[in-house]
Chain A
Amino acid sequence: MNTTFADTNSIKKSSIGSFRIQRGIAIGFGLLAALLILGAILVPGFISPRNARSILLLAAFLGLASLGQTLCALVGALDLSIPYLIGGANILFPSLLVAGLPAWLAIVVVVLLGAFIGFGNGLLSFKLQGQALIMSLGIGFAVVGAVQLYTSLGSAFGGTVFAPVPNWLRNFAAFNGKTFGFPVPPVVILWLLLTAAAIWALYNTWFGRSVYAVGGSRVAAARLGISELRVWTAIHSVSGAMSALTGVLLLGFSGGGFVGVGDPYLFTTVAAVVIGGTSLLGGAGGYGATVLGVLVLTVLTSLLVGLGLNFAAQQAIVGLLIVPMVAIYARSPHIRFQV
């Protein structure tokens, strides 16, 4: 981690950070292995290509939605507009198709709109820092309300959009989708590619190192000539764009536009980031850790479904596991050591 300028602000801090992260990743892998073994013992057919495919597919959606959340957490922000942008994109895209836009153009429009909203979110919340998550919540409300208004203009079905989903999008994101004949939905491949790109970019580009620098110490980052505003708005733009993309892809998965499709992602994206070991205070962690968190969360959910638990019980158990998970490696120091 000491290859670039970004760590010069506090070598001690960053080495503690990387130790924590490595321990977090080791624990994550341990937990994942334990869950898989438990699943193999308790649920017949848990270790099968079929189940692996469904886990990967669900993980891909969560992973795509969590990319922006990870970047935000790295600078100490949380983006709570993600579920609303997902829901908004999920109904805006089909209504654009109905309006006669070609599918590729509609995707570009929706993703750019998402990036634009994320940019606005970053710009407005920059001065607020500690209250940024509430700002993003407000933006989310406003956006989803506006999109629902737009889609229900001249439509008798408030909030629900009926449009034929293009076949290629169905194949792209549905459970039985195929990539060049292989029985893996292309969205999983897309997620893997984006994962590789995100991890590479976070460690090797000026932008990626700037994100860590700002998250680690704002004063030090400013001394290095890094524009905090630019980093802040850029990561929120990425978050907005990724949310919009996830919303479009989820349409291929579900087959019908539904504004509530994003709702579970409000807390699961945060949970995935936290379980992976990225500190919500900023500066430590990365997308690789989040991918691990996404897999742990998805395998756990799959295990609980396999055990026959309903949604309420799944939610309760995931909630119960978060605090001990975080307590293992992300405890803050006692106040007497912070003075």
Chain B
Amino acid sequence: MSSQSKLSSVFQDRSLFVPAALFVVLILVAAIISPRLFTVNGLGGAILVATPLILTTLALTPIVMAGRASVDLSVGPLLGFINVTLIAWLVGNGVTNPVAVVAWVIGIGAVYQLIQALIIIYVRVAPIIVTLSSFLVLSGVNLMVMSSPGGVAPDWMMSWGAGTAIFSPVLVLLIAAFVLWGAVRRTAFFGHLRMTGADERMAYTSGVRVDLVRITAHVMGGVFVGLAALSYTALISSGDPTQGSNYTLQAVTALVLGGANLAGGRGGALGSTLGALNMFLISYLLSVFSFGNVTGFVTQMAFGVILVASLLVNVFMTNRRVAH
């Protein structure tokens, strides 16, 4: 394990090769089959649709990097929870002030992930169990808050979902998220995060406060989930309690497509973004082909095959040896 972590910076670069190559191929195919994607409308719509997934994948990234195989299964339902509470509780009670809305989405995301991190660290139950149970709880609670898709987004957000311009507020949101990530990357915390994920015992004995690192990683993830929920609300202009599990599965797939190691220590914003963009491009291309009433099945199968293939390629690219 320790030799692996020493080389992890090398692996970081090599692991980006696959998603980057796939991205180039997909962009080329899209340019040939559907040049419409590269018009102002096409790009505006693409940014609008891809942003919630990119941000959800970014939210998963620090949590997965912290190690202990802690894939946060609950990010999707948490996104749904923020979405439905925003629509049903805030807008439903006449609170539409942009500052209040942004504070709400980020606050709920951060507080929820803080609670989850505290349970993982102090109750010391395996992360996958904690996030599994919070997946179930939130999926249920979302349906109790709002039994079916409905409601309306605040007025000022309505124009966000038009997708007719490249420089839309959603793009600003996305750039803000990248700036935030870039800022965190420059702190000592980021190095500690990678150390903790690569080998928690080594990090602990080197004086890294692994508990604090883990809590910070979760809170950071929570902030990104909040931003993802905001962009998702802009996308659908309403509340939807049912899309949570879908986003969890897509974000985990995107994360793996982006070359992150679910065992921890390896991953980054660039890889995750590429993974999410690849996911978007794949479903976009499949929707361009007309498969009639089986499009959904083809998409599902394609996701599965690509997920399997990228996992295998990651293994061979990094030539990772299983050491126990």
Contacts and interface: CB of A to CB of B under 8 A. Distances in A.
A131 B256 contact: yes
A334 B311 contact: no
A36 interface: no
A149 interface: yes
Contact of A338 (B119, B144, B201, B324): B201
B126 A330 contact: yes
Contacts, number: 177
B48 to A, nearest CB: 25
B28 interface: no
Question: For chain B, which range describes its interface: under 10, 10 to 19, 20 to 34, or 35 or more residues?
Answer: 35 or more
Contacts of B138: 316, 319
Interface of A: 78, 124, 127-131, 134-135, 137-146, 148-149, 152, 156, 158-159, 217-219, 267, 270-271, 274, 280-281, 310-323, 326-327, 330-336, 338-339
Interface stretch (B50-58, B129-137, B157-165): B129-137
Nearest to A80: B249
A339 B206 CA distance: 11
A332 B119 CA distance: 12
Interface string B9-46: 00000000000000000000000000000000000000
Contacts of A129: 263, 322
Nearest to B69: A130
8 contacts: A127-B315, A137-B253, A137-B304, A144-B300, A158-B293, A312-B144, A314-B140, A316-B139
Contacts of A145: 297-304
Per DSSP, chain B at the interface is: helix
Interface in B95-146: 119, 123-126, 128-130, 132-144
Given A137-B304, A137-B307, 11 more contacts: A128-B315, A141-B304, A144-B301, A145-B302, A158-B297, A310-B143, A312-B142, A312-B143, A315-B136, A316-B138, A330-B129
B297 A320 contact: no
Contacts of B211: 335
A89 to B, nearest CB: 16
Interface in B290-322: 293-294, 296-308, 311-312, 315, 322
